Amino acid sequence: MTAPLTTADTLTTPSSVYSLDTGFETVDASSWLTDYSELFYNDEGDYWEPPINPEGLAQLAHANAYHGSLLNARANYVAGRFKGGGNMRRHHFQRFARDYTQFGHGALLKLRDRLGRVIGLFPLPSMYLRKRKNGDFWLLERDDQKRLYKAKDVIWLPQYDPKQQVYGVPDYVGGLQSSLLNKDATLFRRRYYKNGAHMGFIFYSTDPKLSSDDEDMLKEKIASSKGVGNFRSMFINIPNGHEKGIQLIPVGDIATRDEFDRIKNITAQDILVSHRFPPGKGGIVPVNTAGFGDPEKVGREYLRDEIIPVCEIMMDEINSDDEVAKRQDLKVKFEMANKN
């Protein structure tokens, strides 16, 4: 039987862990990510493998301008309603809310005194937390080390997944491919400019009397010109040439069809829809004259329909724990009324 966990036992844990996972599904463009019917049990590690690679979910937060920002905003809105309890600091609760949103589950460790009584709660990093068959948890650490947490010491809150009931799955999974496409479009556009596969203009001359010195001078002037920005320009002199002796025929030029703008706009909308986040609050610029309506009213509705239900789920899960329920000073409280 393990000794009761104290505050000193846990405060150094989150900074000393990293991913040891292998063999589970990665976040890539070749799979829809939810094509699983059961989870794989890692007998060597003695834990269930998550249905979706947590490291991939973490990396995806930096894929584009929307997804990571929305994750942070959703967690901030929930943490903003937190009024105390559990001997938790607000930024600790924000970490719990962020894990719940980003990875589909969050975990709070019960901090105990020397007598084994619960005196506080502390968030465990969901990215490195793995569940065993008996309900206990491993926290993956460096050098293939694991730290054991008994099921009775962890308040575990997963989002519901009808395919399995071991881990939670984030609610934005349907928008992952759009998030990746948004990233790919930006990277393609950047590489398009950097690799020189484009030109600003062709300086075309047919003058047979143009001397070699004048031709070299024109080439140098064009090459050294900075007025055309990133685009490269070209000088060609064909004495007695014809008007259409040279033609530039673009092949797959994304700039000529506004495909970049369409991809970015459509995928941005998909990302916001997957998070059920109001476009106006997400930084989307309206393309119609009607706009997005009254931001105050939208904010109140979003608070009522999305933020407060999550707060109530978290409060109910924490406060209904047998050990927390016995200590009234540990009760988690939220401000449910509209601040407006």
Q: What is the rounded distance in angstroms from the CA atom of residue 106 to the CA atom of residue 121?
A: 12
pLDDT under 50: residue ranges of the chain: 1-26, 227-229, 254, 256
Q: What is the rounded distance in angstroms from the CA atom of residue 120 to the CA atom of residue 112?
A: 7
Q: What are the sequence ranges of the domains in the chain?
A: 7-172+302-334, 199-252
pLDDT of the residue at 213 = 80
DSSP character at residue 202: E
To which residue do tokens 């789920």 refer?
A: 313
Strands 129-131, 137-140: pairing is antiparallel
pLDDT of the residue at 280 = 73
pLDDT of the residue at 216 = 82
What is the per-residue DSSP string for 27-58?
--TT--S---SSPPEETTTTEEPPSS-HHHHH
DSSP character at residue 285: P
Strands 105-112, 82-84: pairing is unpaired
To which residue do tokens 């931001």 refer?
A: 295
pLDDT of the residue at 12 = 33
pLDDT of the residue at 197 = 52
